[in-house]
Structure 1
Amino acid sequence: MWTETDLIEIIHEFPAVANEALHAIQQGDGKPPDLDSFNAAAAVLNTDAAELCVNLLQSTGFSDAFVQALLARGIEVDTDVPENARINLAGMADFLQRARTFRCRVEVDDTFRGTGCLVGPGLVLTAWHVVRVQGPGVEQNPEPKVTVVLADGSKHPAGVPPSYASPCGDREWINEAPHADSDVLDRHDVALLALRTPAARHLGFAHLPPVPPAVVSRSKLYLLDFPKGQDEQLGEGTTWKIRKVTARMRHDIETAEGSSGGACFNSRFELFGLHQGRQQRGPGRNGGKLDDGRLVPLSLFAADVAELIGKDIAPLELWHLDGENSQLVIGRDLFVSAVAAAGQDDSRVRGVRVKRRNVSSGDETGLGFSYRILNELLLRRGGEHLAVRIPLDEPVSDLVSDIFQRVQSAGVAMNAIPSPGGVDPGQAAAEAAARDQANRLAAAVNEAATKTGRTVWFFVDNPSVPLSEPARLHLEGFVASCLVQPRIRLVIAGLETLPLAGLEFSGPDAARADGPPADGGSGPPGLVVDYVGGFTRQDVLNCLTRAAESLAGQADQQSIEAMTQVALVGSEKFNGVYRDATLSTVVTRLQPYLQVLRESAGTTI
């Protein structure tokens, strides 16, 4: 039922109904007390009339009767049940370790303004009013300079306007709480900032829950903020509903200027919402104000930001390797999109098979660079996906044992591979025994990855020496088994002449062509085939367009066309395809243009 605080709030919001309820519970012949009496007494005592009334009702034993009288007069009861107060200690320890890294400060024109939270490798969630200098509906010209200070002290300029922006209510801009949902209809006070320079990906980020947590009162809440710019550690409190307003909630965590934009988490350590401001509860006993915090529930805006965050974590396109000025990614869109598709739990795409257009040329540039792209993409996922490289550059007597050791070295705690289930090298054909060993290895890796909630990506290098027969049998069996393991993905670089299990898809869309499950397609799993060994003029145009949009916020197609022409001048092509051997020259010629973009945006990437 209602708490003392709830009853005080009800009296403030429904004084006429409260007055009727006081008259209804009066017993005897005496004059029934009313709010006028309490108001007069409160003025003398310098306290709040509603608080004085509730204290008297409790001391005289009439509080339950007062509650029933309120219910009889149509005041709705809060049906939320307080949650179990016990906390998962392991979950808390993990959350505290991660929370130190994804909380960040937000500066506007070099002045600290509020708190933010990394929700992707390059995205920060904060309150809209934190990054504004003008109120709702007012154009900002010029736009302010917004900078995000990460946990490691590095500073990163953010794109303005934000990637997503939902303004606060007009009353909220002047530090007044909304009186009704109509005051903040479709106005969530949320901004999603895109960092223009590489975020420190080792810091990780807070994950957006697949389904936003239910908005309930009397539940545990944790707040990550910087009140007055100071690190006051973790704020802990309880959520409460605000009567007549469902688009905001109040909480009892102590906050201050600078707390705005702080991420709120529930008892399961899921992102729950953003702290936004103060919610006045009324005057206190000594004349001071009783203020609570006010938050915006994630459920209001999660659908608006989910796609942007998803593309930041698992991008469908990439124009450069993070932090490396000269490492442009040209002509590898299919590889990037295939990795994104394979990263989904229910996808038929279980990885990529990288093949050379001209195997006889001996050029392995695209094969080796594939690993660097994969590593970049997996780093963006915050540690839940990791790459294990399997080089085949020297003869290996026992490929199964070699892979086992490499998985352990990557940080995955492995149990011993189970003993053979009736199949032994000494008792069965070599092919059957090798397949059994490979199956048991893949199952052991999947089990270990499942326990830690991770996905292991095996990158199999093209062999620089001939594969031995045992290694070939182990590799074929291992690939076949990995394709059906939920927590394993594959990238096969080269090995074009080796027949491997699984379907080959021309792209992620081909795998989804059959429709569900969950739009990932139905049928057996397989690998997307990505051919390397050349690039087109359009590939260069795409790279420069993305670079301009990322660094300068817009792309001047005329200058991009001209720069592409300069970069490709003198390069030979066949059927519109340029050889990879010319790629280094093209990248070198593009550097001055990229530097102009960086300087125009004030970045150093």
Structure 2
Amino acid sequence: MDVKAEVQNRTPNYPLIAAMIIMSHVQFTEIYDRLAQTHGSDQLMVINALNIPPSDTSQKYLYALQAANEAGWLPELVRLLARTNALHANTFSPRTPAGAQLEALVSPQAGFLDAGLLPSFRRAIPRICLIRVNPSHATGTGFLIGPQVVLTAWHVIKELVEPTDPTKAQARTAKRLEVLFDFVGNENGIRVGVHDDWLVGASPAHELEQRQAWEFDPEATTEGFDSHLDFAMIFLSHPVGIERGFYPLDRNRSAQLPCQVNLYQYPGAAKLKLTTGIAIEYWPKAVKARLLHAANSTHGSSGGLVLDDLGEAVALHQSGGWSDLRQKTINGAIPTSFIATAGAVAGFDTTVIDGVEPLALLPTSKHPVFGREKFQELVLSAVAGRCRVIAVQGELQTGRSFSLEILEAQLTASEHTVVRLSARDFPQEATAAAIFLIQGCGTKPEEMGGLPSATDYHTASAAWLKDALLPHLIDALVRAAGARIMWVVIDDLDEFLPETASAHLLNLLLSQLDSIPSLRFIFLGRVLLSGLPQDTEFERLSKPTVLDVENTIKRHIVAAKFEGDIDTKSAAQILHPKNVDQCVSTLALEYCRRISHLITTGGS
């Protein structure tokens, strides 16, 4: 039987699950009997009558769990118990490890639990990913340590590094690396790309570890284990950690031994699993560069997340080795405190973000932002000068005018100035339009000076606009911008501007923006301005989806470091308006009343 099949067919740890049930007997019976009836199984009373009660009262549901598993509906029962907060994360008891293979199944009788069983650890699940290297199909596990950085074991990705420098990735290897989140339960996973320069930092495994020729001898004085930490930091294509959360590396956080540890992993590339065990000791004694533990693992578990009994990240699972002292195989992990220290010394930045960092709430008003990642990306592009004109097209209730507040939240006041003008007030005469733009950008009438008049030029009107009025307009706007970038936001573009001299002047101005570093234009409305430059960037708005709302909740939870338990999908479905005519502002008010209040008050 292959590893994947062996994991999937392993006997559940009934004693562990039974010990975790904290609801009353009456409540458990109600849930159990309802499912039993659905599946045509015996009720709890019948099962108890056919078996001798266990001497350990914490195991009173042992036979019920076995019967549910034999009938094929134990996972459904456990999921229901987890959803009703009937499972306690800290009631399981230690288990004695037994001999096994490298990257060992140190407690074969314990098996692998579905990763979502423990309510207080469910927040870990979205932060963990399956890693696959092609074409060898080598697999491992990883977890987010920053908004855009995943940590895994170096030996998982070692075939992608330079032979002469194990801390550098080979060129053009990004496409050979697969990262899959949410590969758990009934979900098929979400694939996330990696950056072209994907290896942020790395430390190779020790030579003895690479040869799998070492022992966890407590008296060993082997050198080099403190500088060979077997980790790799992978830079993703976009910052998924903003909504999934992540475990920042903390050089001051370590497992307080002895303690319970929980290992999240993709054993044999199967779906996400959880094993538990006891953290035994640090090794070698002199440097304590490896955390020895007894949580089950197998091939594919390398890079797994090790949490302590408080749900804090304390280690990166690595592999297994032989302990002469204990006469058995023991698993080893790299303390994240060591990785944090090594990363700080080497200057590895796990907080860096390349691209947009999607907003959850506006910093001042605390107004929620639903979707609008496209607009935020376009603003960053315009800041960098890659585009100069953005057109946002949408109906009145889609939140298009809210673009102004998103824009201001993304910009720093010391470097940017934002002015808002209404298309309803835009004059049709060219000189009046120039005055409207100049004064709208902050220039006082007495500071303007005289504008050239068409009557003073004996040329055609088009030539006067281009050769006389336009240069004066550009000069005045540049002076108004000063050392900052001036963002001119023209809202209320719900009707096409008449084909007048003022519209022609505006089009001439937009066509010159590539040569005016300090100007940007944003148009908001139901229609598009005619004659926009070819390099204009567009966002077409629709009303927020349920997924938009759910992502906002996730980002809010992460930003607020909220430790409570919110079913984000259900909350988003409840909040999302059933009435298609409901406007975004009403949705935002409901969000503030329900979700923001819940997070701000800590769930009370």
Q: Name the TM-score, length of structure 1 as normaliser.
A: 0.40
Higher relative contact order (CA 8 A, sep 6+): 2
